[in-house]
């Protein structure tokens, strides 16, 4: 059988990276992401685990080599390990080069060993503070010891952990060096994310908490010698090396446009909408063609059509973060 032509967008960028949200639910209620009393999507709106498998398998057949699973919190979706199991067959066949996830860490204690056994080698854990009280304050429902245990379990299972920290002025500013030292000690990678806090914070709190990464970088430079690294991953992260510790630190500023020309990624929501670019509203409904036919022809045609609309670059609009809740933390561009 001949392989279908790979997905190439109008700007000659091959689409090799798919980010898939498997649920809108989460066991935390981070202040900048969700309201405390959320109404979640009705079940019939969500892609079933089988549909998620079919969707991802189709993308992989079209050349996607890297899959990042996100949420909400992906590990709270019931039966999610069945989905990971399904995807691991593509790792085994070599069609998929990497299967990874972005998580809040709360369920890693239960799942890390299984995830490692299924071929997951790297994960991103969103963690903004190492202080119990502050952690409980910002996540509302989260508890730090459970997350730290989860991270330990991942490390023990041989999974490489990257810690994603949202930089929030007045919140984790005073922990900058503590977090850097902890990551060095635990041998975790580290990336800082600049974000305008959203969720249900007041306008005032939001502006108070905006901490530009330029400032954070200047602070780091007071203690470390920073060397810019040329390395790019097709995503927005820039990296520096701390010469004294050898650590590689990532910086992600959502307003940065300079990675667009190499952007190889698209994002699928848990309801089957494909977003071709983080910074633009345009999306394509893939659920309808998926449900319309048991064959994949309609779905493939819809995917190709969507990719033909992938824009050249983005004009980031923060108001969308509010609409999409978890975007503000597990941003679709983050995590390289
Ligand atoms: S930021 Fe992440 S961990 Fe926090 S509520 Fe949103 S999805 Fe959950």
pLDDT tens by residue, 79-93? 999 999 999 999 999
Q: Which helix (H) or strand (E) holds 323?
A: helix 319-324
Least confident of 50-64, 219-233, 255-269: 255-269
pLDDT band at 232 (very low <50, low <70, confident <90, very high): low
Q: How many Å lie between the centroid of ligand 1 and the Cα of residue 31?
A: 9
What is the rounded distance in angstroms from the CA atom of residue 183 to the CA atom of residue 162? 9
Q: Which residues line ligand 1 (CB under 6 A)?
A: 26, 28-30, 33-34, 71-73, 104, 126, 139, 326, 329-330
pLDDT of residue 322: 39
Average pLDDT rounded to a whole number, residues 246-268: 84
Average pLDDT rounded to a whole number, residues 297-320: 82
Average pLDDT rounded to a whole number, residues 121-146: 97
For 185-202, give one letter per residue: b (16+ CB within 10 A) or e.
eeebbbbbbbbbbbbeee
238 forms beta bridges with 251
Report which of 148, 47, 57, 128 is spatially closest to residue 99, judged by C-alpha positions: 57
Mutate to test the pocket of ligand 1, among 21, 23, 33, 76 (most ligand atoms within 8 A of CB): 33
Residue with the bigger pLDDT between 291 and 4: it is: 291
What is the rounded distance in angstroms from the CA atom of residue 136 to the CA atom of residue 140? 5
- In residues, how long is the chain? 336
pLDDT digits (tens, 9 = 90+) for 276-297: 987 778 899 999 999 999 999 9
| Prediction pTM value | 0.91
Above pLDDT 90, what percent of the chain? 74
Give the end-to-end CA distance of the chain in Å, rounded to a whole number. 33
Q: How many Å lie between the centroid of ligand 1 and the Cα of residue 328?
A: 9
| Strand 160-167 with 189-194, pairing | parallel
Mutate to test the pocket of ligand 1, among 35, 40, 72 (most ligand atoms within 8 A of CB): 72
What is the rounded distance in angstroms from the CA atom of residue 173 to the CA atom of residue 136? 17
pLDDT of residue 202: 57
Distance of CA 258 to CAs 8, 139, 239, 320, Å? 20, 32, 14, 20
Q: Tell whether the model's pLDDT for residue 233 goes beyond 70.
A: no
Closest ligand 1 atom number to CA of residue 139: 4
Mutate to test the pocket of ligand 1, among 36, 71, 168 (most ligand atoms within 8 A of CB): 71
pLDDT band at 198 (very low <50, low <70, confident <90, very high): low
Report which of 129, 130, 105 is spatially closest to residue 115, judged by C-alpha positions: 105
Least confident of 152-166, 179-193, 216-230, 232-246: 232-246
Query: Do residues 247 and 183 lie in contact, with contact meaning Cβ atoms separated by under 8 Å?
Result: yes
Closest ligand 1 atom number to CA of residue 329: 1
């Amino acid at each position: 059988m001949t392989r279908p032509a790979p997905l190439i967008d109008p700007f000659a960028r091959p689409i090799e990276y798919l980010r898939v949200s498997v649920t809108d639910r989460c066991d935390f209620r981070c202040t900048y992401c969700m309201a405390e009393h959320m109404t979640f999507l009705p079940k019939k709106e969500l892609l079933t685990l089988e549909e998620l498998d079919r969707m991802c398998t189709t993308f992989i057949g079209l050349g996607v080599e890297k899959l990042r699973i996100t949420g909400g919190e992906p590990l709270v979706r019931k039966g999610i390990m069945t989905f990971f199991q399904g995807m691991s067959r593509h790792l085994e066949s070599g069609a998929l080069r990497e299967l990874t996830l972005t998580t809040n860490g709360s369920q890693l204690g239960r799942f890390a060993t299984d995830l490692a056994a299924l071929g997951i080698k790297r994960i991103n854990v969103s963690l903004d503070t190492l202080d119990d009280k502050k952690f409980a304050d910002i996540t509302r429902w989260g508890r730090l010891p459970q997350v730290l245990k989860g991270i330990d379990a991942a490390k023990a299972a041989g999974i490489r952990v990257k810690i994603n920290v949202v930089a929030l002025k007045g919140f984790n500013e005073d922990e900058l060096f503590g977090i850097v030292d902890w990551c060095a000690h635990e041998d975790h990678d580290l990336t800082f994310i600049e974000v305008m806090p959203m969720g249900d914070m007041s306008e005032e709190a939001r502006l108070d908490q905006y901490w530009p990464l330029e400032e954070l970088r200047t602070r780091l430079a007071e203690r470390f010698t920073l060397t810019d690294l040329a390395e790019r991953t097709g995503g927005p992260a820039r990296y520096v090396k701390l010469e004294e510790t050898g650590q590689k630190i990532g910086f992600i500023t959502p307003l940065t446009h300079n990675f667009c020309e190499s952007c190889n990624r698209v994002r699928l929501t848990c309801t089957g909408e494909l977003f071709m670019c983080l910074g633009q509203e345009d999306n394509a409904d893939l659920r309808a063609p998926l449900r319309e036919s048991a064959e994949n022809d309609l779905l493939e045609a819809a995917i190709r059509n969507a990719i033909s609309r992938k824009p050249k670059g983005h004009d980031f609009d923060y108001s969308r973060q509010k609409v999409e809740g978890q975007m503000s933390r597990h941003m679709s561009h983050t995590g390289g």
